[in-house]
Amino acid sequence: MKKYLIIGSGFSGAVIAEQLSKNPDNKILILEERNHIGGNCYTERDKETNIMVHKYGPHIFNTDNEGIWNYIQNFCEMIPFVNRVKSIYKSEVYSLPINLHTINQFFKKNLNPREAKLFIENIAQKNIVEPQNFEEQALKFIGKDLYEAFFYGYTKKQWGCEPSELPASILKRLPVRFNYNDNYYNNPFQGIPKEGYTSIFEKMLDSENIEVLLNTKFDESYDLSGFDHIFYTGPIDAFFNYKHGKLSYRTVFFEKHFSEDDYQGNAVINYADPEIPYTRIHEHKHFTPWESHYKTVYFKEFSKETEEEDIPYYPKRLSKDLEILSKYETEKEGLEKITFIGRLATYRYMDMHHVIGEALEIAKDFI
């Protein structure tokens, strides 16, 4: 018999547990500090409206990996869903990502794809050869006007600093299109689980070989001697009790509101004006268009620095963070029987399909 300890029950921990549990000789214990499984992907029915709510913000599953798409459907019925994000800037509603409609509407033109591409090339800042930060990357891509309209204010609110302080790599995930495609994602497989994400985790962890302890926080006092291996999915700096300093994250919090019928007519609307304190509003009935609800619930999303009691969301990865991270990486190399896995334990931005793919590969190699 092999005994394994997994810290955290998000996708990293749940996938590892599900894969290890296929061997009846493996016994898996999961420690989860929250009062529920599923990490930030947790969903629940709102008591007042019965709408399925993504408690920690919207999660639209999307991937270009058919194997991961097939794997997740072992635990749910995935309903196709296209995320069509809108952005409000100076009281005008625009389509995101920036596409041909956005360009024509913003500049009051009637350009075809070829003309629009040439137009953007002419307004982009050609003197920037190798962008050194987010702002330079945006100016090189789309020029000053579009950058200031759709990225400057939103990014400053989201990250709590000037975009010129952020790495250029953040913007590389945001495409510019010269057609009228307003699908927020490029990946061919996109959907939302019919019964919400929590049911996926319930099925993944439904094994006699898996025990889950909720409301149980892992710290350095926990006895690890009885386990053959440990999989850690929490913050890497917390594992080492912040001995080299804390890594910086942004976190988000939500202001909940109710309305009748339909509040904004779309799942997600960004607010790009810097003077508006929230970054976006998400209305969760639009994530389940196959359901019918008269009332509606929506959330204004705010961003701030992560404090001690907050849930870390987005690693900032500023230069000082990377210096601290390198020290923890060195510490990690000297440990045996411990695998650091997932967004927090590796201090990287990762989408759901990246997390699942990494966990499947690690489990395969480990087994």
**What is the set of active-site residues?**
173, 177, 250, 280, 301, 349, 351
The C-alpha atoms of residue 351 and residue 132 are separated, in whole angstroms, by 24
- Helices 100-107 and 113-123, interaxial angle, to 10°? 60
Q: Which tokens belong to 242?
A: 């912040």
Please say whether the beta carbons of 268 and 83 come within 8 A: yes
- 237-252 per-residue burial string, b: 16 or more CB within 10 A, e: under 16: bbbeeeebeebbbbbb
- Residue 164, judged by CB atoms within 10 A of its CB (0-12, 13-18, 19+), counts as exposed
Q: Which tokens belong to 291?
A: 């359901």
Please say whether the beta carbons of 138 and 254 come within 8 A: no
What is the torsional sign of CA 32, 33, 39, 44?
positive
Q: Are strands 295-305 and 280-283 parallel, antiparallel or unpaired?
A: antiparallel
Helices in 161-304 by DSSP H: which ranges?
Answer: 198-204, 236-239
State the Rg of the chain over Cα: 22
Please say whether the beta carbons of 231 and 7 come within 8 A: yes
